[in-house]
Amino acid sequence: MQITEVRLRHLNMDLVAPFTTSFGTFVDKEFILVEVKNGEGLSGWAESVAFSAPWYNEETIKTNWTMLEDFLIPLVLDKEIEHPRDVSDMFSHIRKNNMAKSAIEGAIWDLYAKEKNIPLSMALGGELEKIDVGISIGIQKTVPELLAKIEAGLKDGYKRIKMKIQPGWDVDVIREVRNRYPDIPIMADANSAYRLKDIELLKQLDQFDLMMIEQPLSSDDIVDHATLQAEIKTPICLDESIHSVEDARKALELGSCKIINIKIGRVGGLTEAMKIHELCKERNVPVWCGGMLESGVGRAHNIALTTLDNFTMPGDTAASANYWHKDIIQPEVTVYDGVITVPKAAGIGYEVDYTAVDEFTSYSKRYTNK
């Protein structure tokens, strides 16, 4: 396959409600949408999940744009690409910048699947036709507001409730949630808000029968997490700490976690995500697909990846309407009883709505060698 043109667009979409994590609050989502074209009029799509500020990882929209423009696009434009799985090797001499790499690699996977006229899920080797999803609920101002959000999530049928925690919004809040809902699957995501010195507090979480605690300690740590995991019963799930299959191997060998959250952008693309999935499958470690408040395009990629058979825990890919007044794909992602039916159309399986894309685009740029 050959990419003859790349188009980057900068979009900004308002969230239906603010989303607060231990590192900050989102009221809208700025992101880069990548479109790669071949000579036959087909387009492949993906989005960068980098945020406007470097508060989840070191990447930002601007660093991603620069990496794409200066390094990554020139490496793929007009090059003969035998298979999208080769793209990550073409980028291997460029350090880090995983979200930038993933944005173009994902678009090439979509284009490849469209050229073959098969769904992206099939191109990845995924077989599930329906996937289970949960919902991620941000830090709220009050416990009643949190309980109301949980109630709504349960009513929509989401298969598990993830609540964000941070110092001051943790043990007491989870206790109230547990008292109100003794049996539901709950997990907590700290986004690296604690340190090993908080171990006594973290041990208290064991009483609530949580499915897991996600990324309690530093975003670059796997050593202290191993110490913590040895001291608590609740499974630790790593998110921020895992950037590659090598990171995953080391974390599993150290005993730093029992579950891994796979985010395509964080690990540099679908090919690396599949490698982590494979490693975890060999070692009987369950994985699930994390979310980054994606538009429908990123959501579609998450859905395709989740069709691989070791994605045995519900992911964060909730319905479009949970985030957006209007999404940029047709149809939007819908969830019934906590289940998404995997689309069967070619590529990402949803049509990108150019009118909606234009509405949210503040600037764009075309790259060709001509």
Ligand X SMILES: O=C(O)CCC(=O)c1ccccc1C(=O)O
- Which positions make up the binding site? 189, 214, 239
Q: Give the x/- contact pattern for ligand X in 309-348, rule: CB under 6 A.
A: -------x-x------------------------------
Listing DSSP states for 161-226 in one string gives EEEE-BTTBSHHHHHHHHHH-SSS-EEEE-TT---GGGHHHHHHGGGG--S-EE--S-TT-SHHHH
- Choose one: 27-35, 195-203, 248-256, 290-298; the region binding ligand X (CB under 6 A): 290-298
Structure tokens at 257: 């976690």
The least CB distance from residue 239 to ligand X, in Å, is 5
Q: Look-up: residue for tokens 């794409």?
A: 68
Residue 31 to residue 17: CA distance in whole angstroms: 17
Contact between residue 23 and residue 164 where contact means Cβ atoms under 8 Å apart: no
CA atoms within 13 A on the CB side of 105: 26
Question: Quick one: what does residue 267 bind among Mg ion, ligand X, none, with the CB cut-off 5 to 8 Å set by partner type?
Answer: none
Q: Give the x/- contact pattern for ligand X in 134-153, rule: CB under 6 A.
A: --x-----------------
**DSSP symbol at 157:** T
Closer Cβ to ligand X, 138 or 349, answer by number: 138
Specify the pairing of strand 287-289 against strand 259-262: parallel
What residue number has its CB nearest to Mg ion? Answer: 239
The least CB distance from residue 275 to Mg ion, in Å, is 20
Contact with Mg ion (CB under 5 A) among 239, 247, 294, 327 = 239
Q: Give the x/- contact pattern for ligand X in 173-192, rule: CB under 6 A.
A: ----------------x-x-
The angle subtended at Cα 294 by Cα 70 and Cα 124, nearest 5°, is 80
Q: Is 327 in the site for Mg ion (CB under 5 A)?
A: no
Closer Cβ to ligand X, 26 or 45, answer by number: 26
Tell me the angle at which helices 223-231 and 245-254 cross, rounded to the nearest 10 degrees: 40
Question: Quick one: what does residue 316 bind among Mg ion, ligand X, none, with the CB cut-off 5 to 8 Å set by partner type?
Answer: ligand X
Q: Is 189 in the site for Mg ion (CB under 5 A)?
A: yes
Contact between residue 193 and residue 167 where contact means Cβ atoms under 8 Å apart: yes
CA atoms within 13 A on the CB side of 88: 20
Number of residues that bind ligand X (CB under 6 A): 12
Q: Is 35 in the site for Mg ion (CB under 5 A)?
A: no
**DSSP symbol at 347:** B
Three-class SS state of 23: coil
List residues with catalytic annotation.
164, 263
The annotated binding site for Mg(2+) is made up of 189, 214, 239
Closer Cβ to ligand X, 25 or 368, answer by number: 25
Q: Is 290 in the site for ligand X (CB under 6 A)?
A: yes
Return the number of other C-beta atoms located less than 10 Å from residue 200's C-beta. 8
Structure tokens at 46: 């993906």
Q: Is 274 in the site for ligand X (CB under 6 A)?
A: no
- Choose one: 86-94, 169-177, 199-207, 285-293; the region binding ligand X (CB under 6 A): 285-293
Q: Is 60 in the site for ligand X (CB under 6 A)?
A: no
Point out which residues bind ligand X (CB under 6 A): 21, 56, 136, 189, 191, 239, 290-293, 316, 318
Point out which residues bind Mg ion (CB under 5 A): 189, 214, 239
